[in-house]
């Protein structure tokens, strides 16, 4: 099985606490340089190589419920 996760961050809820960034085992989250209209620099998901497994650790550590995770699994093709 190949597992692929997709992380969505609700910028209206994120308060830049950095807990998701700190706990991501693959280091795929960071605090943005963008100053959002709420006055915070929200977290952002950066996964150019498709390494996210959808483990949910970022989701469970977010105190503001700003993170949503979608997980897709598909069988590996036999070679």
pLDDT, tens digit, 9 for 90 and up, residues 26-65: 999 999 999 999 999 999 999 988 899 999 999 999 999 9
pLDDT for residue 26 = 95
Which domains, from first to last, does the chain contain?
2-74 (3.30.70.20)
Of all helices (H) and strands (E), which one includes residue 59? helix 57-61
Burial 16-33 (b: 16+ CB within 10 A, else e): bbebbbeebeeebbebbe
Dihedral angle, C-alpha 51, 56, 57, 61, nearest 10 °: 130
Non-local (6+) Cβ contacts of 27 within 8 A are none
């Amino acid at each position: 099985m190949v597992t692929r996760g997709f992380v969505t961050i609700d910028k209206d809820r994120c308060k830049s606490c950095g807990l998701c960034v700190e706990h991501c085992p693959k280091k795929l989250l960071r605090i943005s340089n963008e100053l959002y209209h709420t006055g915070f620099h929200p977290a952002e998901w950066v996964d150019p190589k498709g390494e996210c497994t959808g483990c949910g650790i970022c989701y469970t550590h977010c105190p503001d419920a700003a993170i949503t995770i979608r997980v897709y699994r598909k069988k590996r093709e036999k070679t």
